[in-house]
Amino acid sequence: MVDLVSIGVSGLGAYQRALATTSNNIANLQTEGYVRQRAVIESAGQDNLSRVSLGNGARFTEVQRLYDRFAEENLQRASSSLKGEEALLKELQSLQDSIGSSEAGLHGAFQAFFDAARDLEAAPASPGSRAGFLAAAEGLSARFRGLGTAVETLDGTTRTQVDQAVSEINTLLGEIASLNTQLVKRASDSEQPMQLLDRRDAALKALSEGLGVTVELGPSGAATVFAGESASGVALVENGRARTMTVTFDPYDFGKAEFVLDAASQPVVLANVRTGTLGGLVNFRGQALGPTADKLDELALAFGREVNKLHRQGLDSLGRPGQDVFYVGPDFVVDGRANAGTSRLGVEVVNSNAVDARSYEMRFDASRNIWTLRDLKTGSSVQGTNNLVMGGLKFSIQGTPRDGDTYRITPESHPATTFRTLIKEGAEVASAAKLVTKAALRNFGTSSADIHLSEARAAETFRSISDLLPKSVPLGEQSFTRNVPLRDDTLVTANATPIAVIPAGYSKVALSTSAAGGELAIFTRDGRQLAGPAMAASVVRAANGFHADATYSDDYLNKTGANGYLDQSLVFGVSQVPGSQLDIDGNRVLTPAKIFGGVVDLAGFTAGDTVDLQINGETVSITVPTPVTLTGLASAINTHKASTKAIAETTTDGKLVFKSYHEIVVPSASLNNTSSITLSGVAFTVAAAQLAGRTPAQYLRDAINATESGVTASVSSAGALVLTNSEGAAGEPIVIGSNTVGLTSQTYFNDRNLSIGVPSTESASVLRSLGLRNGFVMNAALAEDLLVFGVNNQGLAASVYLSGSYEAGSVPATLAPDAREYKLRFESGNYSLVDIATNTEVAAGVFDTTTRAVQYGNWTVSLSGIPADLDEYTIQPTDEPLGDNRIAAALANLQGNRAMLASKQTVQQEYENLVNRVGAITVQAEIAKDAQQVVFDHAREGRDQISGVNLDEELADLLRYQQAYQANAQVIQVANRLFDSLLQRL
Amino acid sequence: MRVSTSMIFQGLTDKLANNAADMAQLQSQIATGNNYATPSDAADIVGRVQAVESRLKTLEADTKAVTRVKVGVDAQARALEIAAEVMDRLKEIAFRGANDPQPQAVLETLAEEVAGIKRSLVDLANMRDADDRYVFGGARSGEIPYVLNADGSVTYEGSTSPLRVRVNDASYEDASVPGVSVWKSIPRDGEAVDMFSILTSYENALRSGAVEGRQQGLRDVEALSNNVGLAIAKTGAAQQRLEISERQAQETAIRAQKSLADLKELDFAAALAQLQKQELLMQASQSLLGRLSQLSLLDSIR
């Protein structure tokens, strides 16, 4: 009886617990991560009697957790992939909506710009067309900025999402580590509280949604978590330790993000973050956002620069040179906060075409007093003291740096976001070309001539003079002066090609060759020989650096000034400028230009012969005295001092010293019968009574020459009083005191330059016989390169001992080929190009009837046909820019320009490609997301098949356990009744 | 297969959400008349749509450019037509003037008329179009190209480059041509002599009565007239080309518009049918959800 009760009680207890388990399942129907539980009831054993065995009832042994590790991991993986694709797709759609919109995208804005340019092309004088062009330019700028900003906004929001995801991941990693700590207290996972395991699985699933992970479960159920697809590398969670993840973004490159574990202690870079929300965001930034930002920047830079380049070639409606239409960054930010010195760094754009969005580092080395500027992308570097140029940027240091001071220069904003229109008035739109051609009315030919600015013609390149002579000695310290006998001559071996090029813009060029041999021959690239022994015409060929159609000319050979090339001072010989010094009071004083020769080789002259010299540009014939003496030679030279403005003096050691001649001219109109003048403190006054038929000038001349004032006077043919230094003091300052002849009371310094050369008709050896070095001197800069050949007296290639000085600079604006007027004349199939202002034939050659083009400097004239004989065209700066549409046409033609971008696509095609590329990624992401959704649904079903709660099933269990419970209760009741029956019998 | 309760409801709610999204998109398409409401709805074709839209705008710009060039070319044609009439009169004068002998008074009258014709030709050479461009000044279209000097000589101040305007992808037309290519010089004694100098010397020959000069004038006037005839032919050809360009642009625009419509515009019939289908699906899903939510073992075992 008792047994019966205990059997009933055992069943009652077992099914009560089973009912509780089922109720728990029902209660957790919607609990995230809950794993269904099942009550396990076993037989409570039996009593073995002699012949029969009687059971002892039932026993509730355990609550089983219906968990399949494979299904759970599958779900985690699928969830990770799905979240990644969802995050990627969501951001891609945002990006596509920005760039793919007809209203906000660039395609339409480019189109509007080109349409406006065409409108301007058709009606350049129309204020409406000009205003329309500006409005379209503004519209394009706004679109660039708008898209740039949209991309930056996406950068900001995805960064925030990544930061949030990283923060949530860190929280989950900490939670898993904390759960591990509790789990490892028990040896087996079967002993673990199920709630703990559910929490672990929920945390792992949440973690998988943020970041793709691989999990290894230990015997206790503790999870070791690895990032990525395999259980290798550094664990994110191990036992009770969780690593902390941090993320850093490249401030400029949207595609770059670096994930680091334990950045503060033992940093480990986490690579391959590809799945989960984090992976999706990283993929979006790398695959779409970064490339889109790069492409927008490329378009902004290429288009902005090309438009600016064209616009700068034009003239606005008021005849002013075109300015940049657009400003295109990047803008840079300079960080030197940690520097100990007081230096400041300024960064400015010097060549906008070369500027790229790169980061630089500039570091100071005090031991060498040198800054090193390094391009952090390419690693290339330059060094300098305070001004360094790299990548189109000039980095200028001011103040005092300390050793190790470092500046980091990083691009702050993307070019697309800085894109803005610089010109604000329609009149500033440079629709006209800088140059215009005009035909003579009498031209018989019917060819029309177009002119446009072009790239400088390609020519063979040779080293610059600064490479050949890296040490440029300042002109004033040239070894033409007496106390510098030793020269740093460079031996340049004989070469048929130019030994160097004097680049355009170089001024104060003074090259000299030593007596040891060699002369210089100087040419323009158009074949004009400017100095040196005449060379054979065959030297003019492309291999020697000449332009392909250049022809030889000696029209300007060894001529200077008004007779010279472009009226420039070009001397084949030696030259000197006045010396400059400060007196004790700090006043600038000039010493006269002097050239000290070596010992004169008298044997080099034949008595009675004449030799031609070119002194200060004046060609004079010197008659060699008989016998040939040093003083005789000097006297012969000095007979021309009035025209050459130079005198020669002898020295006791057989040398000549040439000095610039000083002269003050008082016009006859300034003189009268009461005129007075004070020279070096001595006053001279005209005494009317003593004129005796002389003019006041003649009177003063006689009076001055009769007195030791250091000044000698003469009267010119025009009746002017000419004051010069007395013999022995040539070129020295003349002190003028109070006077009534219109001169200022002051010390008159001699600021005249001095040059001594030979004309083309004379041998260069004459200079050497006079004890002078030979060479080439050019004071002002030209707008073109000059080719330098090393030759002998006969103009044949020879070795040269060369030294010299030069000053690099910019091309003089007045000599620029697009600022001057030229006459282009055709005759007998040849053309001749003459600079009108100086009547210099700057180029000539055979007219190419195939190309029908003549190129010079930075322009090209294209003729529609073959010109007739004697046809003439004038090339001149445009004087009526309002009705000229040539630059507008060029701007409109940019629509079809495929040379602007490296891809050889037009800007619109390139943008279309960008939209298509992002579109393709979006479509792929859509497909991938749909596929992952299917995988996820399957994984979820797989997991729910095992671990999910089915309400009907639970209700059935509930009924079943309830019935069992009730039956067991009946057993007890039966036992009770049996017991009662027994008691009643008793 | 064992099915959990959440599986049943999750599947149904997912489908309901998808249906709702599809219907929202269809409604948006129908409301806008476009195949897509946002670019991301049709990520694969928006690039192409932008290209076709730009092409259409280019064609509109072509048509506009043709119209503006036509203004100039028509003015050239009109000036040349008048010049041809003037040349006819000049030829009559030249015939009369070449006859010998002629009374000096007649020659003087003819000379006066030649002087007047020269001034008329200068005026024609300085013709302006409706856009205020000098149509014989070339690229220098904003300033008077032919200047009549006090001594009776005429100088050309225009450009030798034309005011060239792009009228389609490959062609250009000149809204203003260089005057020297129209009012051309003619050869005399191996040298090129410009039209106005010819007229001046002819006028002088008439005044002086020089027979040789008057006969030379007859030959010169013939050559000048031929030049004008040639220029008229060239201008006529330009007008024809402009007509063709305009027609081409319009026809291409129609084709481009059709392409754009195919890509962008909604097929309303198909969209409405699809919307009806989605509505049915939606109703079915909702009904299913309702029924499923009513199905419970609990109800059956009460």
Q: pLDDT of A347-391, one tens digit each?
A: 877 776 677 777 899 999 988 888 999 988 788 899 888 788 888
Contact A843, A552 (CB under 8 A): no
For residue A459, pLDDT over 80 is answered with yes
Residues of A within 8 A of B7 (CB-CB) are 940-941, 944, 948
CB nearest to B3's CB, from A92, A123, A950: A950
CA distance A382 to A373: 5
**Boundaries of every domain in chain A:** 2-66+948-985, 331-413, 465-658+752-815, 663-748, 820-877
Residues B254 and B270 in one domain: no
CB nearest to A896's CB, from B5, B169, B175: B169
CA distance B103 to A601: 85
Contact at CB, B181 and A918, closer than 8 angstroms: no
Task: Determine the topology of domain A663-748 in CATH.
Answer: Alpha-Beta Plaits (3.30.70)
Instruction: State whether residue A47 sits within 8 Å of chain B by CB.
Output: no
Token reading at B289: 């959800």
pLDDT confidence bin for A475, thresholds 50/70/90: very low
Instruction: State whether residue A443 sits within 8 Å of chain B by CB.
Output: yes
Instruction: State whether residue A305 sits within 8 Å of chain B by CB.
Output: no
Assigned domain for B46 exists? no
**pLDDT exceeding 90 applies to what percent of chain A?**
45
Q: Nearest CA of chain B to the CA of A300: how many Å?
A: 19
* Residue B291 CB neighbour total at 10 angstroms: 9
Residue-wise pLDDT for A41-91, tens only, equals: 998 887 776 677 778 888 888 888 888 888 988 999 999 999 999 999 999
- Let me know the angle formed at the C-alpha of A394 by A389 and A399, rounded to the nearest 5 degrees: 110
CB nearest to B297's CB, from A433, A922, A952: A952
Contact at CB, B197 and A893, closer than 8 angstroms: no
Residues of A within 8 A of B47 (CB-CB) are 100, 912-913, 915-916, 919
Q: Which element (helix H / strand E) includes A618?
A: strand A618-623
**Interface test mutation site (partner B, options A29, A880, A893, A951, max chain B beta carbons within 10 A):** A880
Instruction: State whether residue A31 sits within 8 Å of chain B by CB.
Output: no
Assigned domain for B44 exists? no
Contact A395, A345 (CB under 8 A): yes
Identify the burial level of A585 via C-beta atoms within 10 angstroms of its C-beta, where 0-12 means exposed, 13-18 middle and 19 or more buried. exposed
Residues B210 and B163 in one domain: yes
Residue B238 is predicted with a pLDDT of 94
CA distance A104 to A415: 18
Torsion A854-A859-A865-A868 (CA) sign: negative
Residue A552 zone, left/alpha/beta (φ > 0; ψ -120 to 50; rest): beta
Identify the burial level of A444 via C-beta atoms within 10 angstroms of its C-beta, where 0-12 means exposed, 13-18 middle and 19 or more buried. buried
Contact A633, A648 (CB under 8 A): yes
Of A393, A69, A33, A108, the C-alpha closest to A218 is A69
Token reading at A766: 């004459």
Token reading at A618: 């004046």
Range of the domain at B128: 66-259
Residues B135 and B237 in one domain: yes
3-state secondary structure of B284: helix
Interface of A with B in 864-903 (CB under 8 A): 868, 870-871, 873, 878, 880, 882-886, 889, 892-893, 895-896
Mean pLDDT of the region A182-188: 90
Residue-wise pLDDT for A511-531, tens only, equals: 888 766 688 999 999 999 999
Residues B83 and B25 in one domain: no
Contact A790, A540 (CB under 8 A): no
Token reading at A301: 């830079």
Q: Determine the angle formed by the axes of helices A290-312 and A127-183, rounding to 10 degrees.
A: 160
Instruction: State whether residue A945 sits within 8 Å of chain B by CB.
Output: yes
- Let me know the angle formed at the C-alpha of A497 by A491 and A502, rounded to the nearest 5 degrees: 75
Q: Nearest CA of chain A to the CA of B158: how many Å?
A: 7
Torsion B126-B131-B132-B138 (CA) sign: negative
- Measured between CA atoms, the residue of chain A closest to residue B172 is A889
Residue A483 is predicted with a pLDDT of 37
Residue-wise pLDDT for A562-606, tens only, equals: 889 999 988 888 887 777 777 777 777 888 888 888 889 999 899
Contact A650, A656 (CB under 8 A): yes
Residue appearing with tokens 């996820």: A936
- Measured between CA atoms, the residue of chain B closest to residue A941 is B7
Q: Nearest CA of chain A to the CA of B92: how many Å?
A: 26
**Beta partners for A464?**
A501
Token reading at A81: 């992939």
Residue-wise pLDDT for B241-273, tens only, equals: 999 999 999 999 999 999 999 988 888 899 999
Assigned domain for B58 exists? no
Residue A516 is predicted with a pLDDT of 63
For residue A485, pLDDT over 60 is answered with no
**pLDDT exceeding 70 applies to what percent of chain A?**
97
DSSP string, A545-586: T--TT---B-TTTT--GGGSGGG--EEEEEEE--EEEE-TTS
Residues B251 and B287 in one domain: no
Contact A248, A260 (CB under 8 A): yes
Report the amino acid identity of residue B9: F
User: Could you give the C-alpha distances from A343 to A346, A397, B117, in angstroms and in order?
Assistant: 10, 6, 78
CA distance A361 to A381: 9
A810: which DSSP letter? Answer: P
Count how many pairs of residues, chain A against chain B, have C-beta atoms within 8 Å.
Answer: 245
**Mean model confidence pLDDT for chain A:** 88
Identify the burial level of A2 via C-beta atoms within 10 angstroms of its C-beta, where 0-12 means exposed, 13-18 middle and 19 or more buried. exposed
Mean pLDDT of the region A231-241: 86
Instruction: State whether residue A444 sits within 8 Å of chain B by CB.
Output: yes
Residue-wise pLDDT for B121-141, tens only, equals: 999 999 999 988 899 998 888
Residues B106 and B246 in one domain: yes
Residue B196 is predicted with a pLDDT of 92
Residue A80 is predicted with a pLDDT of 92
Residue A273 is predicted with a pLDDT of 84
Token reading at A948: 């999910």
Helices then strands, counting H and E runs in chain A, come out as 16, 55
Residue-wise pLDDT for A774-830, tens only, equals: 889 888 899 999 999 999 888 888 888 888 888 888 888 899 998 999 999 999 999
Residue-wise pLDDT for A32-43, tens only, equals: 888 999 999 998
Length of chain A: 986
pLDDT confidence bin for A446, thresholds 50/70/90: low
Residues B96 and B136 in one domain: yes
CB nearest to A912's CB, from B1, B47, B140: B47
CA distance B297 to A314: 88
pLDDT confidence bin for A762, thresholds 50/70/90: confident
Of A646, A666, A660, A644, the C-alpha closest to A716 is A666
Residues B82 and B168 in one domain: yes
Q: Rounded to a whole number, what is the distance in angstroms from the first to the last CA of chain B?
A: 27
Number of domains in chain B: 2
pLDDT confidence bin for A472, thresholds 50/70/90: low
Residues of A within 8 A of B131 (CB-CB) are 122-123, 125-126
Instruction: State whether residue A115 sits within 8 Å of chain B by CB.
Output: yes
CATH number where B137 lies: 1.20.1330.10
**Interface test mutation site (partner B, options A28, A113, A441, max chain B beta carbons within 10 A):** A441
User: Could you give the C-alpha distances from A673 to A3, A338, A688, A744, A854, in angstroms and in order?
Assistant: 165, 79, 5, 20, 63
For residue A857, pLDDT over 60 is answered with yes
Cβ neighbours of residue A115 closer than 8 Å, sequence gap 6 or more: A136, B57, B58, B60, B61
Residue A208 is predicted with a pLDDT of 92
Residue A624 is predicted with a pLDDT of 93
pLDDT confidence bin for A842, thresholds 50/70/90: very high
Of A328, A207, A203, the C-alpha closest to A279 is A207
* Residue A850 CB neighbour total at 10 angstroms: 5
Residue A727 is predicted with a pLDDT of 76
Contact A492, A799 (CB under 8 A): yes
pLDDT confidence bin for A482, thresholds 50/70/90: very low
Contact at CB, B139 and A885, closer than 8 angstroms: yes
Residue-wise pLDDT for B214-233, tens only, equals: 988 899 999 999 999 999 99
CA distance A82 to A762: 92
Assigned domain for B42 exists? no
Instruction: State whether residue A315 sits within 8 Å of chain B by CB.
Output: no
Residues B192 and B90 in one domain: yes
Residues of B within 8 A of A896 (CB-CB) are 169
Instruction: State whether residue A446 sits within 8 Å of chain B by CB.
Output: yes
Of A561, A462, A513, the C-alpha closest to A778 is A561
Q: Which element (helix H / strand E) includes B217?
A: helix B211-264
User: Could you give the C-alpha distances from A779 to A313, A776, A946, in angstroms and in order?
Assistant: 29, 10, 96
User: Could you give the C-alpha distances from B146 to A317, A319, B179, B198, B228, in angstroms and in order?
Assistant: 21, 21, 8, 15, 17
Q: Rounded to a whole number, what is the distance in angstroms from the first to the last CA of chain A?
A: 15
Q: Nearest CA of chain B to the CA of A723: how many Å?
A: 50
Contact at CB, B5 and A29, closer than 8 angstroms: yes
**Interface test mutation site (partner A, options B41, B147, B161, B294, max chain A beta carbons within 10 A):** B161
Residues B19 and B142 in one domain: no
For residue A476, pLDDT over 60 is answered with no
Residues of A within 8 A of B44 (CB-CB) are 916, 919-920, 923
Residues B169 and B283 in one domain: no
Assigned domain for B118 exists? yes
Residues of B within 8 A of A870 (CB-CB) are 191-192
Report the amino acid identity of residue A875: I
**Beta partners for A582?**
A588
- Higher pLDDT, residue A150 or B190: A150
3-state secondary structure of B216: helix
Interface of A with B in 558-577 (CB under 8 A): none
Residues B90 and B207 in one domain: yes
Instruction: State whether residue A943 sits within 8 Å of chain B by CB.
Output: no
Residue A923 zone, left/alpha/beta (φ > 0; ψ -120 to 50; rest): alpha
CA distance A889 to B161: 13
